Amino acid sequence: MSSSQTLAQPTASVSVPLLDLKAQYATIRVEIREALDRVIDSQHFILGPEVEALEKEIASYSQCEFGIGVSSGTDALLVALMAIGLKPGDEVITTPYSFFATAGAIARLGARPVFVDVDPATYNIDVQGIETAITDRTRAIIPVHLYGQMADMDPIMDIARRNRLHVLEDAAQAIGAEHKGKRAGSIGDVGCFSFFPSKNLGGFGDGGMVTTNDSALADQIKLLRNHGYRPKYYNKVVGGNFRLDALQAAVLRVKLKYLDDWTAARQRNAAIYRRLFSSAGLIPTDSSTATLTNSHPITVPLETSESRHIYNQFVIRCARREELMAHLKARDIGVEIYYPVPLHLQECFVDLGYRSGQFPVSERAANESLALPIYPELPEQSLATVVDAIADFYSVG
Ligand SMILES: Cc1ncc(COP(=O)(O)O)c(C=O)c1O
């Protein structure tokens, strides 16, 4: 058979994972192993010098005076709420469009999460709704810097000061993000960070950090992190085991050196997506709208002019999401829904008395959002593969 007679072969599908941690590890393997060896040789596994060094480095990176290493982002929120003295029956304002831990930490202390809907373009708390949600039981506001872009902190801080409320930034997805030049975690009373492996700065397991500029709060969080011991075995308050491991700290210290390069790569990937989606005609040239139309079946994230967006996730809205997901999965393209059920509709919060339709922006986002691969090592060709697959879906549909 001559080459002209060769049957056309289907192009081999190239898989595009949502995240490829092995690709990142390959670039820092030697350094990481040296750091792990250092800790193993020391046999000092809990808190200690590695954790203290990481605390200083993250505090400085986040423009804060203090960092307190903790066991996870969830525990960062929990211990911070304990440190401000949150009591059963108190209320904390936050959004229903977040990872569960934001509201879970409030509920675990017997307090009530009070939800305020999100802004349709940024998915961050709609500041217009905060003031009417305040009651005489409100103690704090937790703005969530979702997907790596900070909430509109100026009006939030203004409302908090006027009403004597604490502000805990849920910065789990936003290390290094900025709002008007100020870093995530440096504006509120505390910032709560997660080092879950899929975060921009991810450990080899669970880990987290609380940042603050308030020395009294820092001291209280340190106390609570280790059973309220002061001195050891003499418990001043009831705390918990919220300690960070030295092995995690050692890994994170290596990774922190590369974080700005990785963030730049994520930002570059976001810019490539915008360009490719625009040339495919899938988004309007002015891509700041949050509304889907027949001619433009997807929207890309809005990056506000005041932001340094660190793109922990690149989340589009899309028409016919479940079908699109199936289409992408069939092509071996990794996508994920963050988050399919808004927090006010979670089974465990039935007793809060919220109902469907109460937070329409969050509910619509839960039905339309889809996270695409954006990790730093993603080759440009893979971004094109993702956009081509989405363009194919809407052209046949
Ligand atoms: C917005 C938000 N808050 C809190 C957390 C909790 O962090 P962790 O998983 O480290 O407990 C996460 C992590 O997924 C998150 O994305």
Residue nearest (by alpha carbon) to ligand 1 atom 14: 99
Token couple for 50: 């590695």
User: pLDDT exceeding 90 applies to what percent of the chain?
Assistant: 92
> Residue 353: which residues within 8 A CB-CB, separation 6 or more?
none
Predicted TM-score of the model (pTM)? 0.95
Cα(387)–Cα(385) distance, rounded to whole angstroms? 6
> Residue 263: which residues within 8 A CB-CB, separation 6 or more?
176, 200, 310, 311, 376
- In this prediction, residue 296 carries a pLDDT of 85
- In this prediction, residue 287 carries a pLDDT of 56
Q: pLDDT tens across 214-269, in order?
A: 999 999 999 999 999 999 999 999 999 999 999 999 999 999 999 999 999 999 99
Q: Is residue 167 within a helix (H) or strand (E), and if so which, with residue range?
A: strand 166-170
Give distance in angstroms: CA of 173 to centre of ligand 1: 7
The mean predicted confidence, pLDDT, of the chain is: 94
Task: Determine how β-strand 208-212 pairs with β-strand 190-194.
Answer: antiparallel
> How deeply is 261 buried, as exposed, middle or buried, from its count of CB atoms within 10 A (0-12, 13-18, 19+)?
exposed
The answer to whether the CB of 211 is under 6 A from ligand 1 is: no
pLDDT of 30 above 90: yes
Measured from the Cα of 77, ligand 1's closest atom is 4
Higher pLDDT, 184 or 291: 184
Give distance in angstroms: CA of 31 to centre of ligand 1: 27
- In this prediction, residue 179 carries a pLDDT of 97
Q: pLDDT tens across 248-263, in order?
A: 999 999 999 999 999 9
Token couple for 91: 């209320």
Cα(169)–Cα(174) distance, rounded to whole angstroms? 10
pLDDT of 397 above 60: no
Q: Are 239 and 219 in contact (CB under 8 A)?
A: no
Give distance in angstroms: CA of 307 to centre of ligand 1: 21
Q: Looking at residue 222, what DSSP letter applies?
A: H
